[in-house]
Chains A and B, each alone.
Chain A
Amino acid sequence: MKRLCGNTWGRAAGLDFGLKSKGSLMSIRPRPGFTLIETIAAITILAVVIPPMLWAVQEAQIQRVNPMLASKARWLATEKLEDIIADRHSDSGSRGYDYLDVSNYAAQNKGDITGYEQFSRTVTIDPETDALFVPTVDGGYKTVTVSVGWDNATGNAMSLAISTVLTEYTP
């Protein structure tokens, strides 16, 4: 019996089997490969699924710098606080406890701190009304707060503040 054309796309194995009275089993087996349609479908699915996964990995890497930015902000806050402590305890006649006023510590906007342009830094100094101890001679104290602000890797505004207390008392 003459075989029908063997080159037809999508020909059903059952039809093939029905028309053949004899023949090798190999010839009636479904084709072992993928069809072009299946292959294109697979490639399309992969093309849709894989890029978002890669972008997600990349996004995770971008956000990995956030802890580092917070750490730098902490160092910048400490740096300013160290200056303020030094001013409080300076043996200069023009510094000391009375020098601790917000007018002496101008706010630094983003771009003002050399090498750390993405950070801003402000100082607040609150003279406390209650005396630290009795008698109240030189009994005052001030709460000094250094705040550092920055934008994290995803553009969210972040801030960090470190405070300390500096006293008027001089032994």
Chain B
Amino acid sequence: MAFGVTTEQTNGIAKISLSGELDASSAADFRTAVEQVATEKPRRLVLMMDKLTFMASAGLRILVFAKQKMGREVDIFIVGAHDAVLETIEMTGFHHSVILLDDYDAAQIES
């Protein structure tokens, strides 16, 4: 399935929605989206992954990049990641650096 990425920003919360397969060929688009939202200096980054079916190591590299690009004070939420994607994140230990949520918890994210 083709990769898709959309962005939106409200109230200092940047939201990037991913769909399809994130691999070496599509990672560049994800990266561009991260760079784009970074210019607005959001206080939170939310990555909607409920429509993401697959993530390869290239995608993980962009997550690492996002964490560094956003800066230490910016919390990164990963919402709705599928089991396989979650597992990849857990295997590398990256889950310690982000906040994993099953659903969009407005109370937590928008506070």
- B and A form one assembly: no
